[in-house]
Amino acid sequence: MASPYTLASVPRPSNATNWSTCVATLTCPPVADRRISLTPNGNIRYALKTPHRDGTTRVVLDPMDFVARLAALVPPPRVNLTRYHGVLAPPSRLRGQITAASRGRGCPTI
């Protein structure tokens, strides 16, 4: 079975600095490790990056609830994460006039 992840879209770095930036980006964890801790009773404490309006700075979750919240962040397979609306939407008649693709050459001008 083929892997759902591909490195084809990763730009080819030209020097060592670009390589280190590329590797750092690809190996970045989805959740900051230093903000997660385990409570004595086995729950997971997650320190928030910025406090909520009510002053909440930490969230304590059951391990299964924590995993469920992480799993909810993963997008479903084969779903575009970028949505275009207005003149950039695929069915827009004006899209060809404002995009750089050659598909808009036959479009009438405004």
| pLDDT in single tens digits along all 110 residues of the chain | 454 555 555 556 566 566 777 677 777 777 788 999 999 999 999 999 999 999 999 999 999 999 999 888 888 888 888 888 888 888 888 887 887 765 555 555 55
pTM comes to 0.52
Total of domains in the chain: 2
For 99, counting Cβ atoms within 10 Å of its Cβ (0-12 exposed, 13-18 middle, 19+ buried), the class is: middle
Q: Do 68 and 87 belong together in one domain? A: no
75: which DSSP letter?
Answer: P
Is residue 46 helix, strand or coil? strand
Q: Is residue 110 part of a domain?
A: yes
Instruction: Please check whether residue 19 is in contact with residue 13, taking contact to mean a CB–CB distance below 8 angstroms.
Output: yes
Q: Do 66 and 86 belong together in one domain? A: no
Q: What is the pLDDT of residue 42?
A: 94
